[in-house]
Amino acid sequence: MFSKPSDNHRPSSSTPWLVIALFISLTLFLTQFLPNISSTGSAFRYTFAGWPRPHQSVFNQLSRGSSRNGENGLLTTAAIDLQAGLPTFSSIRVVSLKSRTDRRTHMQTLTSFLRLENLHFTDAVLYTDPRVLEIVQRVGNNTKADKKIAEVGHVACRMSHRLAIEAADADDDQITLILEDDVDMEAAFKYLAGTVLRDAPKDWDIIFFGHTDFSDEARHGRDTSTSNFYIYKSIEPQGGHGYALSKKGRKLILDLLDNKRPEVYETDEGQPIDEIFMYLARLHRAQLYSIIPDMIIQVPLFKSDIFGTPAGFKDGMHNKKLLDSSLDRIALSSPTNPPNPPLSTRFDHTARRIARRSIPTQ
């Protein structure tokens, strides 16, 4: 009834090999297909604005910069990332005598270290300039200056700053930083200044990134109209070594220097420029802001040719300190020179050496 199975229906001995071959093929297929699934999933995630892409990660940027360039790459990438989207200065205008190549080299080194672009030097006016002497002789004591007399140093300084401001006006700058050529600045100045320009009240005229302490600019507290705790409403700002002008503020100062706005404040040619700044703030005639603590300070590295007086006196101006001095960082990073002591001690050593030489020997 039941027939014996024929030899043609016996299981083939090659079946196990077929199974193995199928298994290997499936494995190879999955290893090729799964990465595509992963990539698709990643692309899907990044379509959402809130999900950070790898190149948007600050940590990844810093890690890549560190691995390629060491610590310098890390710092450079961090600085670029922090400054992204912040306002910047249209130009940097340095008031400097053409003959003082030492000061110009100093400022070129400083601004290069800080990565400040569009640097311009304005040829300052010497206190012996005939134009200065003519004004001093003509104005004499018929001036609104607090000292009630026109002085050659103040007139020369006023004329020099005016030339820098006029150059910015000729180039139609939006925001100009005016510097004197004997300053030090915070190592993070570009980033910090960017936050100030971003957060300052929109109608500002002048921002003093550096000022003297002849007045206490902090005594009324910081400006409550902004969350930036560096910004204070100016009270009696003095010193022209580091200030920013908006386009509106630049126009105001040029008009005042020509006494074209007596309804705002009446001026004359014998009045120091920073005295005009002080009265604008004191009388609430312009939107002036002071940065506290200072981001720009004067340092007694050079003798003043404009005033004809030696620098280095401690008067509330040169005795200021920075949190992180650019000049100290430059000195420490120099491959050819040994690290210099901090500026606060550098001149004390010099004074002691001079004193020792002046002691008579027996």
Domain boundaries, the chain: 59-87, 89-298
- Residue 157: the pLDDT is 97
CB 175 within 8 A of CB 245: yes
CB 278 within 8 A of CB 219: no
Lowest-pLDDT range, 6-20, 225-239, 332-346?
Answer: 332-346
Q: What is the mean pLDDT of residues 167-191?
A: 98
Across the chain, what does the average pLDDT equal? 80
Question: Higher model confidence: residue 17 or residue 158?
Answer: 158
For the entire predicted model, the pTM comes to 0.71
- Residue 31: the pLDDT is 60
Closest CA to 178 of 239, 105, 92: 92
The CATH number of domain 89-298, selected from 2.120.10, 3.90.550, 3.40.50, 3.30.70: 3.90.550
Q: What is the mean pLDDT of residues 49-55?
A: 41
Confidence of residue 234 (pLDDT cuts 50, 70, 90): very high
- Residue 356: the pLDDT is 38
Distances (CA, A) of 227 to 46, 100, 197, 292: 32, 41, 13, 14
Task: Give the integer Cα–Cα distance in Å for 211 and 200.
Answer: 17
- Residue 63: the pLDDT is 39
Residue 40 reports pLDDT greater than 60: no
- Residue 308: the pLDDT is 56
Q: What is the mean pLDDT of residues 299-318?
A: 61
- Residue 314: the pLDDT is 59
